[in-house]
């Protein structure tokens, strides 16, 4: 009898422990879920997919079709052995992704950066598909990247890596297949080496295989400045739409490379705007009286950074500090995920327009918060499409063997971007969506129509 009682007590005890254990596990699961919801998704491909999904759902597209609009058509990973100056071999990993070619050959830059990932390249390729559709140029989207810090390489090592990468992706690129261009840390000299390498492989001058080449070997007037030029046109139109006088309006630029420098130059020179804050990877500088843009560009080129510029009133090691000043216009021109759920509240209430020169600088949560606050965010796939549009002009000129003047290039670009801005702005107002949603809805429709006509979906 005593044994039986002991057995029952033991059994009840086990049940209590068992229940406590499972309560504890369920509690952990709930906690994990809360933490997961709290932390923002920062994977660029997940963000890009969400941007397409949100807009595609608003267009009433089916789930299977949305998947076809998101996933890349083709992706290549390459491992590139390069002989270093000290005789050692280093193997670099690179990627080339072709996202969607329904509207034309793939088009998109090549990034050299230590933080390049496959998902980042996939996101950048997807954004190219919808950027080309936004600008109305007959291309699909592509992108390439190599995991490398080019600042650690000698000129000879950089040339050998650039040539070897292009040899490795040569089977899938070509003037009618996929046309690369520069992106972060790549430039016209690197385009020249890549063009030369491909031309040797095919046995003729394949000018149309890559864009943003130097003028001497098939480049176009106005290509180097094109992204900044595009920022000028869309920002000008946005300020006009909001009835803001650009003369004397203040702006800040995050990232002072190709996109940042030319944006700053044109906003100051052509609209009379005042640049008060700038950052690069080493920090932020601020001067409420405004910087002399030409002088600052000269300093950056000679000294490789803006943080040592003597005419700054404030210097901060934080590269994101640039985003928090009282300015009318913000130009993020560095990398992805700079304006997030965590820092969006620090952006001044004075900011009226954000022109995204960089690709993916704003996360969806931050985007929604800015929209709610009434900030007009001109999304990357519209704002920075000046670069790919003049790349398209270069490709057209290469195929004709007939070259345009700088004025012709600027005029054609202005027409394309001004028209795109107003169509999208009107759609935003009519459909009561934000600028990014309107831009994606318009672009997705074009890609969808091409895929449908070709019988792909
Ligand atoms: P770039 O290499 O010429 O310049 C990048 C600049 O950003 C440098 O000044 C660097 O110091 C700075 N930087 C890097 N990390 C930073 C950080 N965390 N905070 C602040 N600054 C930082 O590159 P780019 O061609 O000017 O490209 C910049 C952005 O614009 C990228 O997102 C690129 O994809 C996009 N973009 C460029 C073009 C183009 O034609 N160059 C076209 C479309 C989009």
- The residues, any chain, with a CB within 8 Å of residue 441's CB and separated by 6 or more, are 55, 58, 59, 427, 431, 433
Are 142 and 106 in contact, with CB atoms under 8 Å apart? yes
Phi, psi of 434 (to 5 degrees): -90, 175
How far apart CA 249 and CA 275 sit, in angstroms, is 9
- Ligand 1 atom 36: the closest Cα is on which residue? 358
List pLDDT tens digits, range 71-89.
999 999 999 999 999 999 9
CA 300 to ligand 1: nearest atom: 9
Report whether 128 contacts 211 (CB < 8 A).
Answer: no
CA-closest residue to ligand 1 atom 32: 358
Residue 359 C-alpha to ligand 1 middle, in angstroms?
9
What's the pLDDT at 8?
A: 52
332 C-alpha vs ligand 1 centroid, how far in Å? 9
The yes-or-no verdict on residue 369 having pLDDT over 80 is yes
**DSSP-based three-state secondary structure for 142:** strand
User: Residue 438 Cα, ligand 1 centroid: separation in angstroms?
Assistant: 25
Q: Percent of the chain scored above 90 by pLDDT?
A: 91
Q: How far is the CA of 333 from the centre of ligand 1 (A)?
A: 5
Ligand 1 atom with minimal separation from the 181 CA:
40
Q: How far is the CA of 448 from the centre of ligand 1 (A)?
A: 30
Residue nearest to atom 27 of ligand 1 (CA): 184
Tens digits of per-residue pLDDT, 414-432?
A: 999 999 999 999 999 999 9
Q: In this structure, which residue's CA is closest to atom 30 in ligand 1?
A: 358
Helix (H, G, I), strand (E, B) or coil at 434: coil
Q: Are strands 376-378 and 283-286 parallel, antiparallel or unpaired?
A: unpaired
Q: Are residues 392 and 107 in contact, defined by beta-carbon separation less than 8 angstroms?
A: yes
Ligand 1 pocket mutation pick from 158, 258, 386 by most atoms within 8 angstroms of CB: 258
- This prediction's pTM: 0.91
Residue 259 CA, closest ligand 1 atom number: 26
Tens-digit pLDDT profile for residues 6-21: 555 556 666 666 667 6
Residues known to be catalytic: 143
Beta bridge partners of 178: 106, 174
Q: pLDDT at residue 445 above 80?
A: yes
**From 120, 150, 184, 283, mutation site for ligand 1 pocket: most ligand atoms within 8 A of C-beta:** 184
SS3 assignment, position 115: coil
Helix (H, G, I), strand (E, B) or coil at 144: strand
Place 39 in a pLDDT band, splitting at 50, 70 and 90. confident
Alpha helices in 71-225 (DSSP H): 118-135, 155-169, 188-202
Separation of alpha carbons 306 and 16, rounded Å: 65
Q: How far is the CA of 400 from the centre of ligand 1 (A)?
A: 31
Ligand 1 is surrounded, with C-beta below 6 A, by 182-185, 227, 254-260, 279-281, 319, 333-335, 357-359, 384, 387
């Amino acid at each position: 009898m005593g044994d039986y009682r002991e057995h029952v007590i033991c059994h009840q005890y086990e049940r209590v422990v068992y229940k406590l254990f499972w309560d504890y596990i369920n509690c952990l699961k709930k906690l994990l879920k809360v933490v997961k919801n709290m932390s923002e998704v920062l994977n660029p491909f997940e963000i890009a997919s969400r941007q397409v999904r949100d807009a595609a759902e608003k267009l009433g597209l089916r789930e299977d079709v949305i998947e076809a609009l998101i996933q890349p058509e083709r992706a290549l990973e390459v491992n590139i052995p390069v002989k270093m100056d000290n005789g050692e071999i280093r193997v670099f990993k690179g990627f080339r992704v072709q996202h969607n070619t329904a509207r034309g050959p793939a088009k998109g830059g090549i990034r050299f950066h230590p933080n390049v990932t496959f998902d980042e390249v996939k996101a950048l390729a997807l954004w190219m598909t919808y950027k080309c559709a936004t600008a109305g140029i007959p291309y699909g989207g592509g992108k390439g990247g190599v995991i490398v810090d080019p600042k650690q390489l000698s000129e000879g090592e950089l040339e050998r890596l650039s040539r070897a990468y292009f040899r490795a992706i040569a089977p899938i690129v070509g003037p009618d297949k996929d046309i690369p261009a520069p992106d972060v840390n790549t430039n016209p000299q690197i385009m020249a080496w890549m063009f030369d390498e491909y031309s040797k492989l095919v046995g003729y001058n394949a000018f149309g295989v890559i864009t943003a080449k130097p003028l001497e070997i098939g480049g176009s007037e106005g290509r180097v400045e094109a992204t900044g030029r595009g920022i000028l046109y869309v920002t000008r139109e946005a300020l006009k739409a909001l009835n803001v006088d650009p003369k004397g309006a203040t702006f800040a630029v995050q990232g002072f490379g190709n996109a940042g420098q030319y944006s700053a130059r044109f906003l100051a020179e052509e609209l009379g705007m005042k640049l008060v804050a700038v950052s690069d990877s080493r920090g932020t500088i601020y001067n409420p009286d405004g910087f002399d843009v030409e002088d600052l560009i000269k300093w950056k080129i000679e000294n490789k950074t803006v943080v040592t510029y003597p005419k700054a009133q404030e210097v901060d090691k934080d590269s994101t500090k640039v985003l928090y000043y009282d300015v009318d216009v913000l130009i993020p021109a560095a990398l992805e995920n700079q304006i997030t759920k965590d820092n969006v509240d620090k952006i001044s209430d004075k900011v009226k327009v954000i022109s995204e020169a960089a690709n993916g600088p704003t996360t969806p949560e931050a985007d929604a918060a800015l929209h709610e606050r009434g900030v007009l965010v001109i999304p990357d796939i519209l704002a920075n499409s000046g670069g790919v549009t003049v790349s398209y002009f270069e490709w057209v000129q290469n195929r004709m063997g007939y070259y345009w003047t700088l004025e012709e290039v600027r005029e054609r670009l202005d027409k394309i971007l001004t028209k795109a801005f107003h169509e999208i702005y009107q759609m935003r107002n009519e459909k009561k969506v934000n600028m990014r949603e309107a831009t994606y809805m318009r672009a997705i429709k074009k890609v969808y129509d091409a895929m449908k006509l070709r019988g792909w979906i």
